[in-house]
Amino acid sequence: MRARLIDGKAFAAGLVERVAAAAARLEAAHGIKPGLAVVIVGEDPASQIYVRNKGETTARAGMRSDTHRLAETTTQAELLALIAQLNADAGIHGILVQLPLPIHIDSAAVLGAIDPDKDVDGFHVVNAGRLAVGLPGLVPCTPLGSVMLLKEALSELSGLNAVIVGRSNIVGKPMAQLLLAENCTVTVAHSRSRDLPALCRAADILVAAAGRPEMIRGDWIKPGATVIDVGINRVPSADPVKAAEGKTRVVGDVALAEAVEMAGAITPVPGGVGPMTIACLLANTYTAACRAAGVEPETLAG
Ligand code: GUN
């Protein structure tokens, strides 16, 4: 079997268009323009690229986009003061603090200071709790986008065996909550799990979120399974000459060439889950703006 490649890039572009149209209607009907504030501390090159992409996509969707670039030497008190100011700003509906933060800043304290109703990353413990008990809240963008792609690929998830490899607060745990809510039978596997290949082979839905390049091999995949690869790993180029020149390539947590021979459908890296993360950030900002105004958000999933 040769797997169908799930085109996250195209799905994300459609989602951004739907968010932009819904945001335009919100502004026309209620005079509210959804606003996202992104805060970055320091000069980490990868973070700079992510933040620029977030700002540009938000502005392209017709939403307000403010980027706060703070020096590496910013103190925790200064960062907390900015968050308090953004919490109080009625024109800002979403606040995202780019991670990682410099080591002299306590990330948990900073994330915990964001108003949960503006926490468009869904990282605040209040939003984690809401997700766990099934209350409306803001859901972390990568798992939210992954579930949208799964529903696109499978339409009905109920009763399927889902195995998630990775137990992070950002992906693995919220993904487990979302798939439980879809009536999947959920297993969360991790680096200490016994016989990981056997666990994976039981999965109708396999979510790879371990952060280890090409860790999941083709023979770990049940024939016909749907595979969601959340990994984004930079590794040396496959060409030894280019690798010697320091050239790199991006791979997922799944060995894609092997996996396409086994899976029914799979998200490629790049072009799978990655583009969904920013699209879901915009969707969360729109949702937060609607809730702040007491307006029912339109359905965006597509
Ligand atoms: N750094 C890498 N990915 C993310 C993300 O999704 N949110 C935030 N805040 N920081 C990140």
Domain with residue 60: its CATH number is 3.40.50.10860
Note whether 202 and 106 are same-domain residues: no
| Nearest protein Cα to ligand 1, atom 3 | 99
pLDDT value for 48: 96
Q: Among residues 120, 150, 184, which one ends one of the domains?
A: 120
Q: Specify if 9 maps to a domain.
A: no
Q: Specify if 190 maps to a domain.
A: yes
Note whether 175 and 227 are same-domain residues: yes
Cβ count within 10 A of residue 196: 18
Q: Among residues 91, 120, 149, which one ends one of the domains?
A: 120
**Which of 44, 47, 96 for mutating ligand 1's site (highest number of atoms within 8 Å of CB)?**
96
Q: H or E segment at 5?
A: strand 4-5
* Torsions phi, psi for 223 (to 5 deg): -55, 130
What's the CA-to-centroid distance between 99 and ligand 1, angstroms? Answer: 5
Q: From CA 204, how far away is CA 94, in angstroms rounded?
A: 35
Q: From CA 75, how far away is CA 149, in angstroms rounded?
A: 39
Q: CA distances (Å), 57 to each of 26, 41, 223, 254, in order? A: 18, 20, 37, 28
Domain harbouring 165, CATH code = 3.40.50.720
pTM, two decimal places: 0.97
Domain ranges, residue 220: 141-276
Note whether 210 and 243 are same-domain residues: yes
Residue in the structure block whose two tokens are 């017709």: 62
Q: Would you call 201 helix, strand, or coil by DSSP?
A: helix
Note whether 172 and 249 are same-domain residues: yes
Counted domains in the chain: 2
Query: Of the candidates 61, 19, 4, 8, which has an alpha carbon nearest to the alpha carbon of residue 301?
Result: 19
Contacting residues for 15 by C-beta, under 8 A, at least 6 apart? 148, 276, 279, 280, 282, 283, 300, 301, 302
Beta partners for 96?
38
Q: Specify if 285 maps to a domain.
A: no
Note whether 171 and 255 are same-domain residues: yes
Q: From CA 46, how far away is CA 42, in angstroms rounded?
A: 11
Q: Specify if 79 maps to a domain.
A: yes
Instruction: Report the first-to-last Cα separation within the chain, whole angstroms.
Output: 28
Query: Of the candidates 101, 123, 99, 103, which has an alpha carbon nearest to the alpha carbon of residue 113?
Result: 123
**Which of 170, 234, 273, 280 for mutating ligand 1's site (highest number of atoms within 8 Å of CB)?**
170
pLDDT value for 210: 97
What's the CA-to-centroid distance between 246 and ligand 1, angstroms? Answer: 26
Q: Specify if 49 maps to a domain.
A: yes
Note whether 70 and 148 are same-domain residues: no
Q: From CA 183, how far away is CA 52, in angstroms rounded?
A: 37
Residues of the chain with pLDDT under 70: 302
CB 99 within 8 A of CB 109: no
Catalytic residues: 54, 98, 121
Beta partners for 186?
162
Q: From CA 96, how far away is CA 217, in angstroms rounded?
A: 35
Q: Which residues' Cβ are closer than 6 Å to ligand 1?
A: 96-99, 121, 141, 277
Note whether 159 and 248 are same-domain residues: yes
Note whether 155 and 230 are same-domain residues: yes
Q: Specify if 291 maps to a domain.
A: no
Residue in the structure block whose two tokens are 């339409």: 155
Note whether 258 and 146 are same-domain residues: yes
Residue in the structure block whose two tokens are 């029912």: 296
Note whether 252 and 184 are same-domain residues: yes
Q: What is the pLDDT of residues 81-126, one digit of tens each?
A: 999 999 999 999 999 999 999 999 999 999 999 999 999 999 999 9
Q: From CA 49, how far away is CA 210, in angstroms rounded?
A: 23
Note whether 39 and 83 are same-domain residues: yes
Note whether 172 and 70 are same-domain residues: no
Q: Specify if 243 maps to a domain.
A: yes
DSSP sequence for 61-124: TT-EEEEEEE-TT--HHHHHHHHHHHHT-TT--EEEE-SSPPTTS-HHHHHHHS-GGGBTT--S
Q: CA distances (Å), 223 to each of 7, 128, 265, in order? A: 20, 34, 10
pLDDT value for 96: 98
Q: From CA 151, how far away is CA 212, in angstroms rounded?
A: 25
Q: Specify if 146 maps to a domain.
A: yes
- Residue 100 CA: which ligand 1 atom is closest? 1
What's the CA-to-centroid distance between 219 and ligand 1, angstroms? Answer: 31
